[in-house]
A and B are shown apart, each in its own frame.
Chain A
Amino acid sequence: MDETVAEFIKRTILKIPMNELITILKAWDFLSENQLQTINFRQRKESLVQHLVRLCEEKHASLNDAALLDIIYTQFHQHQKIWDVFQMSKGPVTVSFRETEENAVWIRIAWGTQYTKPNQYKPTYVVYYSQTPYAFTSSSRLRRNAPLLGQALTVASKHHQIVKMDLRSRYLDSLKAIVFKQYNQIFETHNSTTPLQERNLGLDINMDSRIIHENIAEKERVQQITQETFGDYPQPRLEFAQYKLETKFKSDLNGSILAEREEPLRCLIKFSSPHLLEALKSLAPAGIADAPLSPLLTCIPNKRMNYFKIRDK
């Protein structure tokens, strides 16, 4: 018998008052009549408990048996716990499925309550990739169903836990590319018709001999850094990046009003663009920002997030 199980049984039995011991042991029905008859119930409790534990060992008590003993003890001492009341109800739900070629299952769920029929005009969509632990859901206005949906997905896919990633976009293809780390391959987007030359970071160097580009070395450096950071491939499409900052003001001066503030300072910065990553990629070549860009911006596809919370360490 495991040491932990022995310890558990010992502590459980110690809790049982002497006058209930026989009743509970009989209810447990684990030790045989013969074994019970060998016990001297008039001895001191510690030696009695040790004897009982030895008897359990002889019978190879398992964790389940020990747990059963605990249940019986609790049944006899129900008042030692505080009990809450839950009421369950069956809400009607319309669920439909459609499979697509790339191992993706599209699930449509219309939600109803105990009192109403499912609302077909506000369904939630889930796209689940069966060979992976990832599911993409459309944001539902009926937010109270989210935990239930999460549970259902977890159970149905035989997982234990579900966590919402800090990644959100209109473009399912791009989210897929980021999540499955496939964005560094050329992938088809519905609106990429720009020829390769134009996509070359907007750097059209006019080779007219009357023009002298003084900073050509710098331009090449920027080009190179941009290419190292973003690669040659088209970027996955996101519309936002949001940064929430929470920090306390620090000051060397004594008695600075802001440094004495209890509440941390909060600020939110949101970048939006029809195609955020391509826009970031073109910042340095266009001369709007220095290269290299802040890693907070360039880590987005790699970290698979576009919603960040930054706090003091």
Chain B
Amino acid sequence: MSVLRPLDKLPSLNTATILLVGTEDALLQQLVDSMLKEDCTSELKVHLAKSLPLPSSVNPPRIDLIVFVVNLHSKYSLQNTEESLHHVDASFFLGKVCFLATGAGRESHCSIHQHTVVKLVHTYQSPLLYCDLEVEGFQATMAQRLVRMLQMCDGHVPGVSALNLLSLLRSSEGPSLEDM
């Protein structure tokens, strides 16, 4: 089973690579376009994938941050994310993975309960960000945020590592014991 490992490859000089995994092609494209407009001290590289494993898993690229994009309007999107997670090595979850949930604003269209996503994210001990990618303003802000996160995961921000960031971002309140 092909699995992405964070330290398989040496980091390339001055390059930060982010992998976005999600089924909603159009939304991801727009998010990526916004990200590439951001000021970034290192050169930004973006990998867009619908699901894992990557087709280029024979020679997987070096990834500094994985963002799983879940569309709350689509059960298919959640299912796809759950299956893709099996192809990520456990060491990635030390701050190099985060989840992005979109679509929470239009609650009538949501077919996935927020609680479900929260539970999933809690299982993987990673941060969960909410953003309605369809709204241009929110999308631009999220793009900024992701670029900053990427720089930290990449080691380009002195004094802050991915693990530091993780402990700051992680919510101390997981789902309560009764809910589990």
Q: Which residue numbers of A lie inside 8 Å of B, CB to CB?
A: 202-206, 208, 210-215, 217-219, 285-290
Query: Are A288 and B55 within 8 A (Cβ)?
Result: no
> How many angstroms from the CA of A214 to the CA of B50 in the assembled complex?
8
Interface residues of B in 36-83 (CB under 8 A from A): 36, 43-51, 54-56, 61, 74, 76-77
Within 8 Å CB of B33, what residues of A? Answer: 206
Query: Are A215 and B50 within 8 A (Cβ)?
Result: yes
Interface residues of B in 81-112 (CB under 8 A from A): none
Decide if B25 is an interface residue (CB 8 Å cutoff): yes
Decide if B164 is an interface residue (CB 8 Å cutoff): no
Query: Are A212 and B24 within 8 A (Cβ)?
Result: no
Query: Residue A214 contacts which of B23, B44, B56 (CB distance < 8 angstroms)?
Result: B56
Query: Are A287 and B47 within 8 A (Cβ)?
Result: no
Decide if B117 is an interface residue (CB 8 Å cutoff): no
The distance from the CB of A226 to the nearest CB of chain B, in whole angstroms, is 13
Query: Are A217 and B44 within 8 A (Cβ)?
Result: no
Q: B52's closest neighbor in chain A, by CB?
A: A214
Write out, one digit per residue, whether chain B residues 27-38 have a CB within 8 A of any chain A CB (1) or not (0).
001001100100
Within 8 Å CB of B13, what residues of A? Answer: none
Q: A214-B56, A215-B50, A218-B50 are in contact. Are A285 and B45 (CB under 8 A)?
A: no
Query: Are B29 and A206 within 8 A (Cβ)?
Result: yes
The distance from the CB of B178 to the nearest CB of chain A, in whole angstroms, is 30
Query: Residue B61 contacts which of A212, A213, A286 (CB distance < 8 angstroms)?
Result: A212
Within 8 Å CB of A289, what residues of B? Answer: 76
Apart from A219-B50, A288-B23: 4 A-B pairs, beta carbons within 8 A: A203-B25, A208-B36, A211-B47, A214-B54
Query: Are A212 and B26 within 8 A (Cβ)?
Result: no
> How many angstroms from the CA of A217 to the CA of B43 in the assembled complex?
26
Query: Are B76 and A217 within 8 A (Cβ)?
Result: no
Query: Are A217 and B36 within 8 A (Cβ)?
Result: no
Query: Are A286 and B26 within 8 A (Cβ)?
Result: yes
What are 19 sample pairs from A and B whose C-beta atoms fall under 8 A apart? A202-B26, A206-B29, A208-B36, A210-B44, A211-B47, A212-B46, A212-B47, A214-B56, A215-B50, A215-B55, A217-B55, A219-B25, A219-B50, A286-B24, A286-B26, A287-B22, A287-B77, A288-B76, A289-B76
> How many angstroms from the CA of A213 to the CA of B48 in the assembled complex?
5
> How many angstroms from the CA of A286 to the CA of B33 in the assembled complex?
17
Query: Are B48 and A288 within 8 A (Cβ)?
Result: no
Q: A217's closest neighbor in chain B, by CB?
A: B55
> How many angstroms from the CA of A211 to the CA of B44 in the assembled complex?
9
Within 8 Å CB of B24, what residues of A? Answer: 286-288
> How many angstroms from the CA of A289 to the CA of B24 in the assembled complex?
10
> How many angstroms from the CA of A37 to the CA of B120 in the assembled complex?
104
The distance from the CB of B23 to the nearest CB of chain A, in whole angstroms, is 4
Query: Residue B74 contacts which of A214, A219, A288 (CB distance < 8 angstroms)?
Result: A288
Query: Are A211 and B46 within 8 A (Cβ)?
Result: yes
Q: B74's closest neighbor in chain A, by CB?
A: A288
Within 8 Å CB of B36, what residues of A? Answer: 208, 210-211
The distance from the CB of B89 to the nearest CB of chain A, in whole angstroms, is 17
Q: A290's closest neighbor in chain B, by CB?
A: B76
Q: A282's closest neighbor in chain B, by CB?
A: B26
Query: Are B45 and A287 within 8 A (Cβ)?
Result: no
Within 8 Å CB of A215, what residues of B? Answer: 48-51, 55
Query: Are B45 and A212 within 8 A (Cβ)?
Result: yes
